[in-house]
Chains A and B, each alone.
Chain A
Amino acid sequence: MSVKTTIAAQFQQVAREQDRMLAPLSDELRLVQSGLDSLSFAIIVARLEDSLGVDPFNATEAVEFPVTFGDFVRLYERFAK
């Protein structure tokens, strides 16, 4: 599974668990409009650390906070290499 499909699956899974209406995922989708709250993102980041082995938000180098779903995926692609 690619990084992007892993991330997309996790967004859908957590949205279901948290009873959140997830907007259709596209690169341009702004995370703030995704329907997910901070807790949902926290869970996604923790689960992705388990499945992809990286947590870009906890990296030693400062990362820019992603604004769109595309930014989010690129951030993980950069660190998952």
Chain B
Amino acid sequence: MPSESLWESITAAGAPHGRLYGVRHVIPLAELAHATSLCGRLEELRDRSVMLLAQDQLTAALALIELDGVARRMVLCPPDLAPQHLPALVRDAEADACVVDEGTATAAADVPTPFYVRADLTRSGIPRRSSRATEWVLLTSGTTGVPKLVLHTLESLMSALRAGARAPAETLVWSTFYDIRRYGGLQVFLRGMHAGSLVLSDPIEPVSNFFARAAAAGVTHISGTPSHWRRALMSGAAATIAPRYVRLSGEIADQPILDNLRAAYPAATVAHVFASTEAGVAFEVRDGHAGFPAALVGAPGAVELRVAEETLQIRSPGAALRYLGEGVEPLRTADGFVDTGDRIEAQGGRYYFMGRRGGVINVGGLKVHPEEVEAVINAHPWVRMSLVRARRNAITGAIVTADVVMAAAGVGSGTPPVAEVLTRELTEACRRSLAPHKVPAMIRIVSALEVSASGKLVRPLA
């Protein structure tokens, strides 16, 4: 049975009434029935593997709607993707076309045949026709810095939405701080397209302007990470919107942020959701408390949770199928569970998230692998070893700090630098080669670091 395409799914109950709100353009969804954003060239992309490199979220959204059911595969590249990773991604995704917009700033040599996507639609005489189940590929950060390609289908992405089936009688207006090319944002995109309208954000737009646009569109449901929400509360613009549903995901939702949001939006349901690109949406907690009820673990249902070595594992029809590329690790265990890498601990009938196993630091929803920061620090001639770790932070969840052991005299060249000079040089070195969230906010010079019997640095859990 041929699966339903995104457009067929959106229009299953008749012509859509909703709108797609970008910063500069507003697109009534019904217009897409007889118009195209791809300058009349959609048919040329049929059965191709397409890198979606549009910079703007609205043009990316239009391309997703048109390409699903047409392209063989779509790779959803977020706008901050480092260009040096493109050749490897093109190779592993077997991409033979890419979709760009006027904001795409990529050297033509790095990408296959470009097609332009535009927010000013052109009339199309060709009826929309889907011929296959398109593969949706999302990117997630890997240890080596090259993003991993995570393979989904529309069916796996829609699984959480279908599970929460609701009467389509009323029109909802969704919005999100997330970029829709990341898993959390993509979930909101799909919800918005099926439930009514969607207001897209823009990374350089101030919160107050974003909320003003969302309010003008009548936003009812809105989602972001705890860090997004802390920024929103500090903007003084929180009262601009009056949503009925406020959603948090992507980071640990602590009790203060839940309490603050309940105070800011007394009429709204404040829910936090556990989801990951690989595991899909696992559960939603609506009781206003941090953590989640212990009874969810081991409970029967489409989505199953279990705890292995203090870490949450999930088996779900919403999970991704596999990673793409040569020699990649399996995405699931032999019995079909995805290891989330998130450590949890039971306390009084609830499980609480304790941070990432393996020390991955989450700074405002952006992952930092300690090893990549240590590599930069350790390159300094007066550094013997270093340990990069997370420090808990109420604004971004965590920030990066580093403990550094200096090399003994004679190992480095010349006279040893004083501590202040060394920390300044290390900070400058990190700033030159790392993204701002990866640069340690504090560097301490210490006399020694603990090394285990196996010769490995002892890394603190969480």
Contact in complex: B260, A42 (CB < 8 Å): no
Contact in complex: B256, A43 (CB < 8 Å): no
Q: Which of B227, B363, B394 contacts A57 (CB 8 A)?
A: B394
Q: Is the interface of A mostly helix, strand, loop or mixed?
A: helix
Residues of chain A in range 30-81 having any CB-CB distance to chain B below 8 Å? 30-32, 38-39, 41-43, 45-47, 50, 55, 57-58, 62-68
Contact in complex: B234, A45 (CB < 8 Å): no
**Docked complex Cα distance between A65 and B234 (Å):** 6
Contact in complex: A17, B396 (CB < 8 Å): no
Contact in complex: A38, B395 (CB < 8 Å): yes
Q: Indicate whether A57 sits within 8 Å of B256 (C-beta atoms), given known contacts A45-B394, A46-B442, A65-B233.
A: yes
Tell me the count of chain A residues lying within 8 A, CB to CB, of chain B. 24
Q: Which of A32, A38, A57 contacts B208 (CB 8 A)?
A: A32
- Output the least CB separation between A48 and chain B (Å): 11
Contact in complex: A32, B236 (CB < 8 Å): yes
Count class of interface residues, chain B:
20 to 34
Does B364 count as interface, using CB distance less than 8 angstroms?
yes
**Inside 8 A of B427's CB, which chain A residues have their CB?**
17
Residues of chain B in range 202-254 having any CB-CB distance to chain A below 8 Å? 206-208, 227, 230-231, 233-237
Closest residue of B by beta carbon distance from A72: B234
Interface centre among B235, B255, B393, B396 (most CB of A within 10 A): B393
**Docked complex Cα distance between A16 and B204 (Å):** 20
B interface list, Cβ under 8 A from A: 206-208, 227, 230-231, 233-237, 255-256, 259-260, 263, 363-364, 391-396, 399, 401, 427, 436-437, 441-442
Q: Known pairs A31-B236, A32-B206, A62-B263; list 4 more (Cβ under 8 Å).
A: A32-B236, A38-B227, A58-B256, A64-B263
22 contacts between A and B (CB under 8 A): A31-B234, A31-B235, A31-B236, A38-B230, A38-B231, A39-B399, A39-B436, A39-B437, A41-B395, A42-B363, A42-B395, A42-B399, A42-B441, A45-B393, A46-B399, A46-B401, A46-B441, A58-B392, A62-B256, A65-B234, A65-B260, A66-B234
